[in-house]
């Protein structure tokens, strides 16, 4: 069997494909650190704004303790063609009532499960990207995605 050869991509394609992978994966994997042990679990983002990702959580979940101790996290998205996007970032608690309300209003499952936006069990994280990387299936190399598409940088794509 011959190894497939990925097509070369320009910067605009990398950014567009990265957004498409993020849009296609409803349950990306979230990596955190528990002491010296990595932890990985699927999450269901409640909002995506470019490469800034919002994840609702319950305060009783262990990832709350992990993120409080070390807010550096990584999300891994994969589409049906096995292209990947990795978003490395910092998780922060969202306390802005307007942001919370907009997410609450747009997510019937949150309303059904928690009953009220003021439920003390609810915690909302915003994961601000510090690095975004894209890998086309079979490429076996990540390409840095320009963060200007998130409003955070003017970095140009680099293999790495």
For residue 155, the model assigns a pLDDT of 37
The whole-angstrom separation of Cα 37 and Cα 18 is: 28
Residue 1 has pLDDT above 70, yes or no: no
- pLDDT tens-digit readout, 64-109: 999 999 999 999 999 999 999 999 999 999 999 999 999 999 999 9
Could you tell me if residue 98 is inside a domain? yes
Nearest of 88, 79, 87, 89 to residue 17 by alpha carbon: 79
40 inside domain: yes
> What is the spatial distance between Cα 29 and Cα 64, in angstroms, rounded to a whole number?
16
Inside any domain, residue 108: yes
Q: How many residues does the chain have?
A: 160
CB contact at 8 A, 136 and 106: no
What percent of the chain clears pLDDT 90, i.e. is strictly above it?
79
What is the pLDDT, as a whole number, of residue 151? 44
**Overall pTM > 0.85:** yes
Is 6 within a domain? no
Q: How many CB atoms lie within 10 A of CB 55?
A: 22
Please report whether residue 155 resides in a domain.
Answer: no
| Total domain count, the chain | 1
> Could you tell me which residue, 124 or 12, shows the higher pLDDT?
124
Closest CA to 87 of 77, 98, 101, 99: 77
**What was the pLDDT predicted at 137?**
85
> What is the per-residue pLDDT for 7?
77
pLDDT of 160 strictly over 80? no
Over pLDDT 70: what percentage of the chain? Answer: 91
Residue range 53-71: mean pLDDT, rounded: 96
> Would 89 be classed as within a structural domain?
yes
Residue 127 predicted with pLDDT over 70: yes
- Domain of residue 87 covers 11-146
Question: Where residue 103 sits, what CATH number does that domain have?
Answer: 2.30.110.10
């Amino acid at each position: 069997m011959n190894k497939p050869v990925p097509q070369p991509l320009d910067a605009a394609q990398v950014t567009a494909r990265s957004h498409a992978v993020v849009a296609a994966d409803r349950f990306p994997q979230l990596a955190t650190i528990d002491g010296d042990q990595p932890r990985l679990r699927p999450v269901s983002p409640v909002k995506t704004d470019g490469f800034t990702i919002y994840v609702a959580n319950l305060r009783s979940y262990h990832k709350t303790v992990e993120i409080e101790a070390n807010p550096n996290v990584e999300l891994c998205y994969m589409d049906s063609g096995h292209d990947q996007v990795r978003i490395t970032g910092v998780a922060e608690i969202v306390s802005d009532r307007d942001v919370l309300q907009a997410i609450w209003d747009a997510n019937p499952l949150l309303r059904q499960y928690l009953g009220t936006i003021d439920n003390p069990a609810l915690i909302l994280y915003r994961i601000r990207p510090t690095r975004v990387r894209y890998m086309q299936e079979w490429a076996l190399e990540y390409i840095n995605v320009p963060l200007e598409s998130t409003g955070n940088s003017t970095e140009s794509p680099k293999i790495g």
